Amino acid sequence: MDFIIVSGLSGAGKSVALNTLEDIGYNCIDNLPLFLLSELALGLLQSEPVLCPECVGTAVGIDARSNPDDLRQLPQVLVSLGKQGIIPRLIFLEAQTERLMTRFSETRRKHPLTSEQRSLAEAIDYERELLEPLRQVADAHIDTTHINIHELRDLVRGCLGDGQKLSTSILLQSFGFKKGVPESFDFVFDVRCLPNPHWQEELRGQTGRDLAVINYLEGFEEVVAMRDDLIAFLDRWTPCFERDGRSYLTIAIGCTGGQHRSVYMAEAVRAHFDRGGRRALVRHRELP
């Protein structure tokens, strides 16, 4: 039986993750009180093949509204389930406080832990504290600060791997240094040292996805060398992050304007990973 627990900070995307799993074929239960987790899992072990033969598995959502003592006991609960033949996988979603506050402001929804005595920022900090026991034992951590709903859905699907372990997805972003360096990325690579197509009048209005720009850049040995070195670096170290339980790596590649060199390099890295069967997503911050 495939049993997945989805938890994380309010506003980080737990509902999106559960909806994604439901679309795949999981039987989903949200806001499950933690004291019912063991009873549910053991019951499903006996009855799921009969009650829901078409289901891929079961996914449950757990949040900070559970009893704090129950949250602290979760690691022991997971160990106990494992001894009975159930190995749950825990996906934990989080985001930077500033981004979470913006989302609550945009949606005008109330944080479940706010009160007259507790501001939104304080509620988010309190929730982090309450959920830390879950975060510590999570099989996958997804930071949704810089990703949209579609990218989150792709990352959740990528987390499922082969059903036995969580595979690491790659999230690439090109950007222009003149508009600032994106925050909270695992790696940031600077490709401003490479020849700039901007100074070729016929290429100025094109991007790093256009064939003319690609041919121009690949005509320089240093471009090909940097591309190959970057790919070799990621090939070498991505498995290490995967063994450490990372669900995805975020990689930012920047040039001056974010239109030519960084776009080309991000697309080249994505194509390499796609050919190798590893999930890779790419977004171009400065392109429409």
- List binding-site positions: 8-15, 63-66
Tokens of 194: 């490479």
CA angle 178, 180, 184 (to 5 degrees): 150
Cβ distance 168 to 246 under 8 Å?
Answer: yes
C-beta neighbour count of 271 within 10 angstroms: 13
Cβ distance 9 to 93 under 8 Å?
Answer: yes
Annotated binding site for GTP: 63-66
Annotated binding site for ATP: 8-15
User: What is the spatial distance between Cα 230 and Cα 90, in angstroms, rounded to a whole number?
Assistant: 31
Sheet containing strand 57-62, strands side by side? 26-29, 57-62, 3-8, 89-94, 140-143
User: What is the spatial distance between Cα 256 and Cα 176, in angstroms, rounded to a whole number?
Assistant: 5
* Residue of 9, 18, 60 whose CA lies nearest to 39: 60
Read off φ and ψ for residue 28, nearest 5 degrees.
-110, 140
Amino acid at 18: L
